[in-house]
Structure 1
Amino acid sequence: MTSWSDLAHVRVGVWGVGVEGSASLRRLAADGIVPSVVVDRESGVEVEGQPVLGLDDGGLDRLRACDVVIKSPGISPYDAPALALADAGTRITSGLSLWLDSAPRERVACITGTKGKSTTTAIAGALARGLGADVFTGGNLGNAPWDPQAGEHDWYLIETSSYQAQAIHSGPRVVAVTSLSQDHLTWHRGYPNYVADKLSLCTRPGVEVVLAPVGDPELGRHADALGPHVRYVPEELAPWTEALHLIGRHNLRNASLAGAVIRALGVPGAEDDTALAGAAATYQPLRSRLTPVGQVAGVDFIDDSLSTNTLPTLAAVDSFPARRVALLVGGQDRGIDYRPLAAGLDGRAPEVLVLTLPDNGPRIAATLRQHAPRVAVREMPDLQAAVAAAYAWAAPDGVVLLSPAAPSFGVFKDYAERAAVFVEAMRGLA
C-alpha cells in the first residue's frame, strides 16, 4: 500500500489541515473516503466539510486507530505524538509521497535546497511554459499536485522542502539541489538530521538524475549523500538568462539549475538558447526574494523577507558589491549558528551596517560583535525603527535591505506581513 489509490479499504487519518491537509481532504472526498481529521489546536471547527478533532481532545487516540495517517509537513516526525503513532504501528506518510508513488515520475522533477528552490522552480516553470509545455509548478510553492483542482499535466516541477523530503518513499526521475546550509534545526533535531532528511530525496528509488551547482561548499562536504547520479551544473551567463532580469550571482546559479532541470526532463526546446530567451522574458519574479520595492531620495529598498538563514542573506548583500548596505536581520530564533553571517559580513566592513530585530536580534548582535568586530551593529526595537535608522545611514545612494536570516513568526504572522510592514515604513519616509 503506497499510493492514493491504495487507501480505499483502510482507516485513514489526516493530521494537519493547512494547504496540504486541505488538498488531501479534497482528494479523499473525491475518492469517496471519509477520514479522521486531527489538528494540534482545539476541536470545534470544520475543514472541507469534515469535523476536526484537537490532538489533546482525543485526536491522538483517533489517529492511533488509523492504519495510515497523512501528515502535514510542519509536523515533525521527531516529536512525541508522531513517535507514539509509530510505536503503535500506524503508518505515517504524506500527500506528496502518496502522489509520487503513482505519478508519471519520468516527467517529474523535485527541486530542493536550503535556499533558492522556490526561485529555481519558478524559473523552470516559466521556461517550460514559454516553450509551450503543459507544466505544473507546486509543492512547497503552495499548491499540491494530488489536489483534484490541480488537474493532469505533461510535466511536473515540485518544490520540495526538507519537511516534505523526509517523508518521501519513491523519488522522481530528476532531483535538483540548489544549496545547503543550516535551517529548520528544531524540526529536524539538529543539522546532521537536517542534511540527511533533505538529501535523502537524492537516493530514493526511481531517481536517475541529481543536479547540483558547482562550488557549493556544504554540498561538496556531503557529496556522498547526493548519490551516484549527480551532475554538477556550472553558473553560466547564457544569453537567455539576461531576459530574466535577476539580481545577484546566486540567482544566476538558480537560473542555470532551472535550465538544467527542464533539459534533464526532456522538455522540447530546452536545448535551444534562442527559444529559451523568448521563454525567459515571460518570467515574473517571486515576491520577497531580492525584490526592489521602491526608492526614497536615491536610497533603494529591497525586500528579501523570505531569506530565513545566513546563506541567502550573505548572497543578498553580495548582490550589491559597490554600494553601502543597511542590512535588517532578525526574527524567530531557531538556534541557527550566526558565525557564518559574521564571517561573511566582516569582509564588507565598513560598507555594511547591521540593524538587528526581535526576537533573536540580541543574539545575532552579540555574535557579530564577537566574531566581526569591524562591522557596525545596532539593536533595534522593531522593524519600523530599523527602517528609519537604515535610511538615515544609507543616504544618499545606498541600499536598505530586509534580508532577515530568520523566520518571521512571533512578531509577524508570516514573511508577507513582515514585507508589508517594511514597505509601509519605507512609504512613511517618502
Structure 2
Amino acid sequence: MEERGNKRLVVLGAGESGVGTALLGKKQGFEVFVSDRGEIRGESKEVLRRFDIEWEEKQHTEAHILSADIIMKSPGIPDSAPLVVQLKKKNIPVISEIEFAYPFTEAMLIGITGSNGKTTTTALIHHVLKGAGLKSKAAGNIGKSFAEEVINDEASHYVLELSSFQLDGIVNFNPHIAILTNITPDHLDRYDNDFNKYIASKFGIVKNQTPSDYFIYDADDEVINEYIKKHPVQSKLLPFSLKNRIEEGAYLENENIIITVNNNKFIMPTADLALKGNHNVKNAMAAATVAQLLRIRKNTIRECLENFHGVEHRLESVLKINNVQYINDSKATNVNATFYALDAMKSSTIWIVGGVDKGNDYSELYALINEKVKAIICLGVDNSKIINAFGNCVDNIVETQSMKEAVQYAYKMAERNDNVLLSPACASFDLFKNYEDRGRQFKEAVREL
C-alpha cells in the first residue's frame, strides 16, 4: 500500500474491530477519529486515550465523519444505515477491518467463512499449525481482531474467521487459502430477506483469488455447487465430501477420511477424531486439507485432530447431574447449527431455544424434534414464532425470561439419561450481551443447581 501521509481514517464503532483498526491506523500514520453511536466500554476508552486517539460516544458528528478519506465500519452497522448511505454517495470508501489490515502484513492468510462450522474449523486449523511449530495466529471473529494482531505482526500465518458482514466490506482482500464450510439461510434480515444476496456475500471470500490460490469447500452443499457453476472461481478447487469420491480434495470411504493434494495422500479413521458427528468430520477434512497444502507432517496432523476438543459454547458438555447431561451450544445462532446439535443428541432431550429471530424457517427441525425432544423451554422476549412452529410437535412448551429460570424448569422436567440442550437457533441480543454471555450464564445456572 502506498504511503498515506496524514490521511484521515474514521472508525465507526468502538468494539474489538474498531479499536484494533484505530490502533493500527495510528501506527501507520493516519489521523484517526473513532465514533460510536452507543457507549464505549471503559477499557476501550483507556486504550484510545493512551494512544492519543480522538473519539466520541452516543453520537455520530457528521462534520467529523464526512471529512474522512477512508471509513472503517464495524460489522454490526448495516450498509443501509443513513450515515453509511451518505458516505457512499460522497464516494468516501467504506471498508471492513479485514480490508484495512491486510496490506500491512506479509504473512500467509487463510480465510474461513460459512453459515456454520467456521469457528471450530478456524480453531482446528490454528491448532494444527501451532502443533507443527508454525507462528500461527487465529483472529477475525475469534480471539483478537485481525487489525490488532497486525500491529506487531509476529505471525507467519493468520487463520481468519470471517463473517459475511466482514466480507461485505472488502475490495482487494485475498486469502491464499479460502474455506467455505456451508451456506444455509442466516442473517437474512441484513440481506433484504434475499438468500441470493447472502450467498454472494459469502463468496466474497474468493472474489480476488487467482489460479495460484486455493478454495476448499463442501461439495455436498447444493447451494455452493450451484453458485460455482454459474460464477466460476479462479483458484484451484479442493472440495470435501461425505458422499462422493473426490480426486483432488477430501472424501469418506469405509469410515476413513482420504485426502489427496498434489498427489500426496493422507488417510485417517474418523473413529480417531476427538470431535464427534458428521459436521466435525467435514471440519476435520477442511483443516487437514490446509495442513496437506502447507506440507505439515502427517503424524502431526493426526495427533492434532486426535487431541482437539472443540471450542467453548459449541456442543460443550457442562455437567452431569442425576444422570442428566447439560450441554451448552449457545453458539448455535441459526437453525442449521441447531439442526447439527439436535442430530448429535443420542437420548431424549429438553431443548432451550429462542432469542432474536433472524427470519428463521424452523420446518427443517420438525423431524428431529419429533424424534428427540420431549420438552421445549422458550428463552426470549418474544417466543410466539417458536410456540407456533413447535406447538404441535411436543406436549410441553414453557416460556421464560431468564437463564436461571430456564435451567430450573429443565432440572424439574429432566429424568435419568435425558439431555438438557441450550441451542437457541437465534441471536442473543434481547436478553444477553452476546452468545458468550448467554453460554456462561447457562453454565453458571447449571453449576448452581
Check whether TM > 0.5: yes
State the alpha-carbon separation in 1 of the partners of residues 379 and 60 from structure 2: 37
State the alpha-carbon separation in 2 of the partners of residues 30 and 129 from structure 1: 28
Q: Which moved more, 1:398-407 or 1:5-14?
A: 5-14
- Aligned-pair CA distance for 1:347: 5.1
Match of 2:324 among 299, 304, 307: 299
Matching residue's letter, 1:121:
T
Asked if 2 retains the 8 angstrom alpha-carbon contact of 1:324 and 1:352, the reply is yes
**TM-score under structure 1 length normalisation:** 0.88
Look up the SS of the partner of 1:261 in the other structure.
helix
- Aligned-pair CA distance for 1:252: 1.8
1:232 aligns with 2:239: yes
Matching residue's letter, 2:399:
M
Look up the SS of the partner of 2:411 in the other structure.
helix
User: Any idea what the Cα deviations from partners look like across 1:80-128, whole Å, max 9, x if unmatched?
Assistant: 21111000121111221133345447x2210000111010000011111
- Aligned-pair CA distance for 1:65: 1.0
Match of 1:378 among 385, 397, 400: 397
Q: What are the within-5 Å matches in structure 2 for residues 122-201 of structure 1?
A: 122-147=123-148, 148-170=150-172, 171-190=174-193, 191-201=195-205
State the alpha-carbon separation in 2 of the partners of residues 42 and 326 from structure 1: 38
What does residue 256 of structure 1 align with? Answer: 285
Q: How many residues align?
A: 414
Q: Which runs of 5+ in 1 are unaligned?
A: none
Identity of aligned residues (%): 25
Q: What are the within-5 Å matches in structure 2 for residues 4-403 of structure 1?
A: 6-41=3-38, 48-49=48-49, 50-54=53-57, 56-58=59-61, 60-101=62-103, 103-104=105-106, 107-147=108-148, 148-170=150-172, 171-190=174-193, 191-206=195-210, 208-223=213-228, 224-225=230-231, 227-229=233-235, 230-235=237-242, 236=252, 237-238=256-257, 239=268, 242=271, 244-264=273-293, 266-269=294-297, 272=298, 274-320=299-345, 322-342=346-366, 344-346=367-369, 348=371, 351-369=373-391, 373-382=392-401, 383-403=403-423
Change (3 A) 1:110 1:57: closer
- Aligned-pair CA distance for 1:374: 3.4
Q: Which protein has greater RCO, CA pairs closer than 8 Å, 6+ apart?
A: 1
Matching residue's letter, 2:283:
N
State the alpha-carbon separation in 2 of the partners of residues 347 and 128 from structure 1: 42
User: Any idea what the Cα deviations from partners look like across 1:171-220, whole Å, max 9, x if unmatched?
Assistant: 21211011111222223332332222122222224472211123224334
State the alpha-carbon separation in 1 of the partners of residues 186 and 396 from structure 2: 23
State the alpha-carbon separation in 1 of the partners of residues 126 and 326 from structure 2: 28
- Aligned-pair CA distance for 1:244: 4.7
Q: Which moved more, 1:89-98 or 1:400-409?
A: 89-98
Matching residue's letter, 1:48:
L
Change (3 A) 1:374 1:36: closer
State the alpha-carbon separation in 1 of the partners of residues 448 and 155 from structure 2: 45
State the alpha-carbon separation in 2 of the partners of residues 61 and 318 from structure 1: 53
State the alpha-carbon separation in 2 of the partners of residues 32 and 278 from structure 1: 44
Asked if 1 retains the 8 angstrom alpha-carbon contact of 2:355 and 2:424, the reply is yes
RMSD: 2.5
Look up the SS of the partner of 2:146 in the other structure.
coil
User: Any idea what the Cα deviations from partners look like across 1:3-32, whole Å, max 9, x if unmatched?
Assistant: 4x5433422211111111111121122223
Asked if 1 retains the 8 angstrom alpha-carbon contact of 2:141 and 2:162, the reply is yes
Q: Which moved more, 1:110-119 or 1:23-32?
A: 23-32
**Larger strand fraction of residues:** 2
State the alpha-carbon separation in 2 of the partners of residues 329 and 6 from structure 1: 51
Change (3 A) 1:389 1:146: closer
Matching residue's letter, 2:178:
V
- Aligned-pair CA distance for 1:323: 0.9
State the alpha-carbon separation in 1 of the partners of residues 276 and 109 from structure 2: 28
- Aligned-pair CA distance for 1:154: 1.7
- Aligned-pair CA distance for 1:301: 0.6
Matching residue's letter, 2:8:
R
Matching residue's letter, 1:165:
L
Q: Which runs of 5+ in 2 are unaligned?
A: 243-251, 258-267
Change (3 A) 1:114 1:377: farther
Change (3 A) 1:57 1:319: closer
Asked if 1 retains the 8 angstrom alpha-carbon contact of 2:324 and 2:417, the reply is yes
Change (3 A) 1:54 1:188: farther
- Aligned-pair CA distance for 1:260: 1.4
Change (3 A) 1:377 1:256: farther
Look up the SS of the partner of 1:7 in the other structure.
coil
Look up the SS of the partner of 2:122 in the other structure.
helix
Asked if 2 retains the 8 angstrom alpha-carbon contact of 1:345 and 1:375, the reply is no
Asked if 2 retains the 8 angstrom alpha-carbon contact of 1:247 and 1:290, the reply is no
State the alpha-carbon separation in 2 of the partners of residues 306 and 390 from structure 1: 19
State the alpha-carbon separation in 2 of the partners of residues 403 and 241 from structure 1: 25
Asked if 1 retains the 8 angstrom alpha-carbon contact of 2:274 and 2:305, the reply is no
